[in-house]
A and B are shown apart, each in its own frame.
Chain A
Amino acid sequence: MLHFQLWISLIGAFLVWGVHFAGLYLAAEFAPQTIRVVAPILLVLGLATNGWIFKRANTANPFVATIGGGSAVISSIAILWQTLPVYV
């Protein structure tokens, strides 16, 4: 189980960021008119997934908890931050 939690948290949160970024980039570059609809959907999905990862990473192993929780937090800040330019 720890195995699963470790890999999910190590890679999962950053993949959330990557997928969010890729979605946002593709919409911005190739279909800018859809961006204001796509961005909030991606944001909600990303934050929800990161929340789940944060919860799963809360194990007794402090290394996994820090890496997992930290990844989810950094990923969430990053996707919030990269969504900002859509609205400003």
Chain B
Amino acid sequence: MKDDLPLTAEMANRFPARHAGSKADLAELEKIWCAPKGWQFFTAVSNNYIGFYYIATAFLFFLLAGILALLMRVQLAAPAQTFLSPDTYNQVFTMHGTVMMFLFAVPAVEAVGVMLLPQMIGARDLPFPRLSAYAYWIYLFGGLSFFASIFAGLAPDGGWFMYPPLTGRIYSPGINADFWLLGIGFIEISAIAGAIEFIVGIMRTRAPGMSLGKMPILAWALLVMSVMIIIGFPSVILATLLLELDRAFNWPIFDATRGGDPLLWQHLFWFFGHPEVYIIFLPGAAMLTMLISTVARSDVIGYPLVVLSILATGFISFGVWAHHMFTTGIPDVTVGVFSAVSTAVTLPAGTMVFCWIATLAAGKPKFNAPGLFAIGSVLVFVTGGLTGVMVAFVPFDWQAHDSYFIVAHLHYVLLGGMLFPLFGAFYYWAPAFSKNALSDRTGKWVFWLMFAGTHVTFMPMHIAGLMGMPRRVYTYLPAQQVETLNFISTCGAFLIAAGVAVFIVDMIRNFRFAPGGGNAGNVYGGGTLEWLPSGLYSTRSIPLVTSRQPLWEDLNLARNVEEGRYFLPRSATGLRETLMTSPVFATPQQLLILPGPSVWPITAAVFTSGFFLLLTIQAAVLATISGVLAIIAIIIWLWETDRPVALKAADIGGGIMVPTHVSGVMNHGVWATITLLFVFGMIFAMAIFSLFFLWTNQPKFWMDPPAFTASFWVFVLGVASLTLSLSAKSLLLRMQNANLTAGALSLAAILAIGAQYADYTGWQAVGLQPEASGQGGIVYAIMAHQASLLLVCLVMAAYAMARAFAGLITKPASVLIDICSLILTYTAAQGLAAAVLTRALATGG
């Protein structure tokens, strides 16, 4: 079953099995998957619990940021008010934007994924449950600490995109900006961990038969979103790191007077920032698509076109970042190209809208709460999309830039593209997780209040913007003739708040979390797998999927699944398991053993949060201790999960045998490692872009690099490290000696450190200092990035040595060796590339 081919007809015909699963098997499944009780709830790792915690926390941040919005609207309800001071207003609008974008929108769509995805694709859980738990806890601790900064008057106040020089050490001397720069670190870690989980989960743990063409649209959107996160987030990781270096150590990367350039921040930020909007929008659009399909009781019209549109939007979103910079004086041709690409986004977005309309037209839509939210989303989103086309045109953008017109545009897009679909999703999917469905009647009230509130709030902002009201002003004068418009907007904001309040009442009255079964069930008649009867183990057996709406196509599917007539009706190993399937046709390939509850993810999250927060208040020693403790916690967690399994192959139902352990490119850990290395690669690529940018823009600050001939040891040691790390796997295969292989990896790590040291001394010898010029700042930042990777390599090599001495490395193939070898190979290659490129881009500037 190693080849990615469809399941043969002979195998498919074995399902549903003639014999039902036994009650003893079901009891064993329930025992294996039971949740931790009492105070141990925080050790839970199952997607049901983590997903629920995630959604609840994201919603809490939505409420907090919403309260900040109301404070702003009260301040702006009338001219020349003093309800908020200018400084407080700056903090409030910065926190509103930051919390909504980083602590609500991205985590909320990831939360929906964590909660729904396994059931939707027929997996028992995500492939790395402890990673999900870690991502959640780090988000909770980091988010709460970050938000608490506002109570101490220490919240960031430079706007959610934090442009230098305003946010540099001269104009923002306090630690407010540091809270943003390091606080965002939590979300970056959490989002990337979630993205890795989704990519591997969607590509490798789908139910047998669920080929790519049969995947639910939400799975497609989460896949594209995850790829976008691993491409886009590294840019903001690098940007925040560079600005923090700028602030903490006086490096001049964004200081134009010393060979830096503040525009570099805008490029780096918006390369992440604009795709971020689509990272939020695409899952929203997918939820919308699924809602529309169900309320219209029709399969999605133009399913491949919707998939294509999701893919196209994801790609094109990476070519539009400079439309946020039309007024910064970038070259005319660049402006023209970005304007063209920005308008090109209408192609896939329009295609999606027409597919939604066609689906509604093809079916008989019901105007229940999810239906209203779905249709309302389309209307609000299209309104925002149209003003988006307006601001994609340069002459108009020059007029509207930084005005309330933009505030109106972005809120229409985000509310229509994400918030309305999310509320629709709450009503649609709540019965899958609650003993009672939410009230449809109350849901309609929620919809109409929010829908009316949205237009009343944001429609007048278009006019206020066109009349010249700039965004981010804490007040305005009576003579500006925007009083009435602002008063109407304030009334609208309270209408939206009323809608949210009614929703909360509905939740309190009706929502009763029921993760172990006993939920309200398929109230709206959905056709996808998450509506199968389920317990904490997900479904009793994993179905064979033959269509996009399996529950509509096979009316006996739920009964047969519940009777254990499909895959994995029992636990073969007595542990938590799910099926690993092939990427395209979802043919069973492996029985994946999943880890259970553990205290280590939350422990690692506590210390990781401590590391960032202590750095923020400049307690370097304590931060280091916290960082070391985080690494120790992660090592213990890895040690526990990295276990040899006695059973080599298992019957997954129908007499089909699959291995319980695979190494090499088929292993899910290797997939995750490759994805993570892609993140590191993107950080490196963006750092090289930064060097290139400053090289071309600030040539007079450039100095000559160490000569290639004087860099002999950099290349010799680098090549030796690369060769050794590449040969680790074949060493284990041929020599079957784990100690030797782990030793070779350790030596490779030491050689790479030697290469890095030689590189550092080379730059020191020519006199380049990080605080002297933009070139110095970037070159040393690249070295710092490389050093952090080397630290990871060192820890990995020590871990491999410890495993080898404990006799825990399997032979002749080991996933640990695969992963260590991959990381070391990448690090050595990046070190060589960095040495070549920093030298090449330093000549002739």
Which chain A residues have a beta carbon within 8 Å of chain B's beta carbons?
Answer: 2-3, 6, 10, 14, 17-18, 21, 24-25, 28-30, 32, 35, 61-63, 66-67, 70-71, 74, 77-78, 81-82, 84-86, 88
Interface residues of B in 291-314 (CB under 8 A from A): 304-305, 307-308, 311-312
Residue pair A86, B584 in contact (C-beta under 8 Å): no
Residue pair A6, B584 in contact (C-beta under 8 Å): yes
Neighbour of A28 across the interface among B4, B307, B334, CB < 8 A: B334
Residue pair B337, A85 in contact (C-beta under 8 Å): yes
B647 interface residue (CB < 8 Å to A) = no
Task: For A81, list chain B residues within 8 Å (CB).
Answer: 340-341, 343-344
Residue pair B212, A14 in contact (C-beta under 8 Å): no
Task: For A21, list chain B residues within 8 Å (CB).
Answer: 319, 337, 341
**A28 and B311 in contact, given A18-B318, A86-B336 (Cβ under 8 angstroms):** no
B730 interface residue (CB < 8 Å to A) = no
Residue pair B341, A14 in contact (C-beta under 8 Å): no
**A84 and B340 in contact, given A66-B304, A67-B304 (Cβ under 8 angstroms):** yes
A64–B359 CA distance with the chains assembled, in angstroms = 22
Closest approach, in angstroms, between the C-beta of B5 and any C-beta of chain A? 9
Residue pair A17, B316 in contact (C-beta under 8 Å): yes
Task: For A17, list chain B residues within 8 Å (CB).
Answer: 315-316, 319
Name 16 A/B residue pairs within 8 A (Cβ), A-sorted. A3-B4, A3-B584, A14-B315, A25-B337, A32-B331, A32-B332, A66-B304, A67-B308, A71-B312, A74-B308, A77-B344, A78-B341, A78-B344, A78-B347, A82-B319, A85-B333
Residue pair A66, B305 in contact (C-beta under 8 Å): yes
A18–B330 CA distance with the chains assembled, in angstroms = 20
Nearest chain-A residue to B336 (Cβ)? Answer: A85
Closest approach, in angstroms, between the C-beta of B21 and any C-beta of chain A? 33
A66-B304, A67-B308, A70-B308 known; 8 new pairs, CB 8 Å cut-off, are A25-B334, A61-B213, A66-B305, A71-B311, A74-B347, A78-B316, A85-B340, A86-B333
Neighbour of B337 across the interface among A3, A63, A82, CB < 8 A: A82
Residue pair A82, B340 in contact (C-beta under 8 Å): yes
A84–B4 CA distance with the chains assembled, in angstroms = 42
B696 interface residue (CB < 8 Å to A) = yes
Nearest first, the 6 closest Cβ-Cβ pairs linking A and B are A85-B336, A63-B213, A66-B304, A14-B315, A28-B333, A28-B334
Task: For A63, list chain B residues within 8 Å (CB).
Answer: 212-213, 304
Residue pair B331, A28 in contact (C-beta under 8 Å): yes
B348 interface residue (CB < 8 Å to A) = yes
Nearest chain-A residue to B302 (Cβ)? Answer: A66
Residue pair B212, A6 in contact (C-beta under 8 Å): yes
Task: For A6, list chain B residues within 8 Å (CB).
Answer: 212, 584
A67–B348 CA distance with the chains assembled, in angstroms = 13
The tally of CB-CB contacts under 8 A between chains A and B is 86
Task: For A66, list chain B residues within 8 Å (CB).
Answer: 304-305, 308
A61–B304 CA distance with the chains assembled, in angstroms = 12
A81–B337 CA distance with the chains assembled, in angstroms = 9
Closest approach, in angstroms, between the C-beta of B664 and any C-beta of chain A? 17
A35–B337 CA distance with the chains assembled, in angstroms = 11
Task: For B486, list chain A residues within 8 Å (CB).
Answer: none
Task: For A84, list chain B residues within 8 Å (CB).
Answer: 336, 340
**A71 and B308 in contact, given A3-B4, A17-B315, A28-B337 (Cβ under 8 angstroms):** yes
B339 interface residue (CB < 8 Å to A) = yes
A88–B334 CA distance with the chains assembled, in angstroms = 13
Nearest chain-B residue to A71 (Cβ)? Answer: B308
Neighbour of B330 across the interface among A10, A29, A35, CB < 8 A: A29
Task: For B347, list chain A residues within 8 Å (CB).
Answer: 74, 77-78
Closest approach, in angstroms, between the C-beta of A12 and any C-beta of chain B? 11
Nearest chain-A residue to B342 (Cβ)? Answer: A82
Closest approach, in angstroms, between the C-beta of B145 and any C-beta of chain A? 38
Task: For B212, list chain A residues within 8 Å (CB).
Answer: 6, 63
A32–B307 CA distance with the chains assembled, in angstroms = 36
Residue pair A2, B584 in contact (C-beta under 8 Å): yes
Residue pair B319, A18 in contact (C-beta under 8 Å): yes
A24–B337 CA distance with the chains assembled, in angstroms = 8
Neighbour of A29 across the interface among B315, B331, B339, B584, CB < 8 A: B331
Residue pair B308, A86 in contact (C-beta under 8 Å): no
A14–B344 CA distance with the chains assembled, in angstroms = 13
Neighbour of A74 across the interface among B213, B318, B340, B348, CB < 8 A: B348
Nearest chain-A residue to B211 (Cβ)? Answer: A63
Task: For B341, list chain A residues within 8 Å (CB).
Answer: 21, 78, 81-82
Task: For B312, list chain A residues within 8 Å (CB).
Answer: 14, 71, 74
Closest approach, in angstroms, between the C-beta of B45 and any C-beta of chain A? 32
A86–B335 CA distance with the chains assembled, in angstroms = 10
Interface readout for B190-221 with A: 1 if CB under 8 Å, 0 if not?
A: 00000000000000000000001100000000
Closest approach, in angstroms, between the C-beta of A38 and any C-beta of chain B? 11
Closest approach, in angstroms, between the C-beta of A73 and any C-beta of chain B? 9
Nearest chain-A residue to B343 (Cβ)? Answer: A81
Task: For B337, list chain A residues within 8 Å (CB).
Answer: 21, 24-25, 28, 82, 85-86
Task: For B333, list chain A residues within 8 Å (CB).
Answer: 28, 32, 35, 85-86
Closest approach, in angstroms, between the C-beta of A76 and any C-beta of chain B? 11
Closest approach, in angstroms, between the C-beta of B349 and any C-beta of chain A? 12
Task: For B348, list chain A residues within 8 Å (CB).
Answer: 74
A88–B333 CA distance with the chains assembled, in angstroms = 10
Nearest chain-B residue to A36 (Cβ)? Answer: B333
Task: For A2, list chain B residues within 8 Å (CB).
Answer: 584
A64–B344 CA distance with the chains assembled, in angstroms = 23
Task: For B336, list chain A residues within 8 Å (CB).
Answer: 28, 84-86, 88
Task: For B692, list chain A residues within 8 Å (CB).
Answer: 30
Closest approach, in angstroms, between the C-beta of B302 and any C-beta of chain A? 9
Closest approach, in angstroms, between the C-beta of A46 and any C-beta of chain B? 13
Residue pair A82, B308 in contact (C-beta under 8 Å): no
Closest approach, in angstroms, between the C-beta of B6 and any C-beta of chain A? 10
Interface readout for B336-361 with A: 1 if CB under 8 Å, 0 if not?
A: 11011101100110000000000000
Residue pair B696, A70 in contact (C-beta under 8 Å): no
A86–B340 CA distance with the chains assembled, in angstroms = 10
Closest approach, in angstroms, between the C-beta of A71 and any C-beta of chain B? 6
A66–B311 CA distance with the chains assembled, in angstroms = 13
A61–B212 CA distance with the chains assembled, in angstroms = 12
Closest approach, in angstroms, between the C-beta of A18 and any C-beta of chain B? 6
Task: For B305, list chain A residues within 8 Å (CB).
Answer: 66, 70
Task: For A25, list chain B residues within 8 Å (CB).
Answer: 319, 334, 337
